[in-house]
Amino acid sequence: MRLDRYLSHATELSRKQARDLIKSGAISVDGVIRVDCAHAVNSEQRICCAGIEIAAPGPRYFMLYKPAGYICATKEGAHPTVLQLLDEPRREHLQIAGRLDVDTTGLVLITDDGQWNHRLTSPRSRCPKTYHLSLAEPLSMDALQQLERGVWLRHEHQRCLPAEVSRDDSQHIRLTLVEGRYHQVKRMLAAVGNRVVTLHRQRIGAIQLDPMLQPGDYRPLSADEIDGIAAL
């Protein structure tokens, strides 16, 4: 990693402030002052500012309870982004792992570990995600079986993979998918002649939305939660 990137990841300095500090001669790498911002460093090296060691930037992982009205994007538009709910330094380094629609609530995972994010969101991982839905119409047995077999979505060339469906009652169901196509849940229900009224994501892989969180709250992931995704 470049020295200026290391510093801005490991501290609250912006990239510009990190560069200025490096150029001022305040930063040493393994005891040697380095004034080249592009100097390559790794986490095994001892990087100091005015003699004080700067700990290597560790990756961060969070779960957030997304409220309705927020978008899963890095820049706000007509709506605020879920990243604005995080009171964390260096928010601009964080990525949202998989998107929910503005009106969808529930579990969102956020990290600055690009590989972990990729593992979670890669179609090849087939990471299961469970959604709780309320529907405009009762779900017929025929529609339920179509979802379980895999429905065809408009403008798509491949049938959806089979979904797991369970009914709490005729208009409240739980759906587990191993894909993440655009507006997939809403389009699947439309394909069987129904309409999603509310949509909530409850689980990603082995990670359940923490029942202690209220909409808008977040917490760091535990080591087991992080490892569960890394093992996908």
Catalytic residue numbers read 101
Residue in 94, 86, 132, 98 with CA at minimum distance from that of residue 232: 98
CB of 104 to ligand URA, least distance (A): 3
Site string for ligand URA, 152-191 (x = CB under 6 A): -------------------------------xxxx-----
Identify whether the C-beta of residue 65 lies closer than 8 Å to the C-beta of residue 107: yes
Identify whether the C-beta of residue 110 lies closer than 8 Å to the C-beta of residue 99: no
Q: Which stretch binds ligand URA (CB under 6 A): 87-95, 99-107, 109-117, 140-148?
A: 99-107
Identify whether the C-beta of residue 228 lies closer than 8 Å to the C-beta of residue 206: yes
Q: Which is nearer to ligand URA, 20 or 101 (CB)?
A: 101
**Does 94 interact with ligand URA (rule: CB under 6 A)?**
no
Q: Which is nearer to ligand URA, 101 or 137 (CB)?
A: 101
Q: Which is nearer to ligand URA, 88 or 101 (CB)?
A: 101
Residue in 65, 54, 44 with CA at minimum distance from that of residue 4: 54
CB of 9 to ligand URA, least distance (A): 30
The residues binding ligand URA (CB under 6 A) are 100-101, 104, 183-186, 199
